[in-house]
Amino acid sequence: MQRYFALNSNLELSNNDIHHIKNVMRMKKNEKIEIIFENFLNECIIESITKSKLEFEIIKKTKIEEKSNKITIAFPLIKEKYLSFFLQKATELSVDEIILINTSRTIVKTDKVERYVKICKEASEQTHRNNIPSINIMDINNIVKYKKDLNIFCSVNQMSIDIKRVLKDNKYDNILVVIGPEGGFTNIEEDFLLENKFISVSLGSNILKSETAGIFILSILNYEVILWVNLMKLYQIYQCFIWN
């Protein structure tokens, strides 16, 4: 079932979404769609559709459970083609928040937040996510305001700790990971992150492009978080079983 995100509590959809339903998906009367607004998923049946208006009936409304753990990634402003690709893949990999950072070696300056949100929205709908990642743009020095339970940055310096070891030692509900630009962080930037209690982690011996590193570490975190959540659920079920 196709999923969309509403503009407001009346479950109005954007003109682009209506165009997609009518002309791309070629949906007709009595077909079903899902519409999300805030913490509710609405299953709807189409009653009529025109070029600029969609009428539907809500046949089921379900409250969406909020995630107990969240992943935030701070990612450099890189060339448009590669950044668009990363935003799409990061959304598919369940990232909750994306912070685009300016660093000393950042070569791209942009304020295209609206375009980036659109990319994430479309990826969220295609993968049936329950929300759209938030997006902010800031200088790397402001990243400390967004610190979480675990704060890490990817580096190739010899003091870096293997990412698997960091995740094995502890389990965290909220994680912030920072990725550097082409050429990596400067020594001043790495010192700044270390002074603010960020852990320097290694992704292996190969030097990866920014978008590759971002996708790689999100895949690892996604797997680790899902595995830990499932283990906790099993433990809770077991506790209920032995006490009843």
Secondary structure (DSSP) of 145-204: GG--SEEEEE--STTPEEHHHHHHH---SEEEEE---TT---HHHHHHHHHTTPEEEE--
Three-point CA angle 170, 174, 177, nearest 5°: 90
Structural domains of the chain, with CATH: 2-63 (2.40.240.20), 70-231 (3.40.1280.10)
How many angstroms separate the Cα of 172 from the Cα of each of 27, 95, 141?
43, 15, 24
Rounded Cα gap, residues 121 and 133, in angstroms:
8
Asked if residue 33 lies in contact with residue 44, where contact means CB atoms within 8 angstroms, the answer is yes
pLDDT tens digits for the chain (244 residues)?
Answer: 899 999 999 999 999 999 999 989 999 999 999 999 988 999 999 999 887 789 999 999 999 888 778 999 999 999 888 999 999 999 999 899 999 999 988 877 777 888 999 999 999 999 999 999 999 999 999 999 999 999 999 988 777 888 888 887 666 788 999 999 888 899 999 999 999 999 999 887 788 899 999 999 998 888 776 555 544 444 444 445 445 5
pTM of the predicted model as reported, rounded to 2 decimal places:
0.83
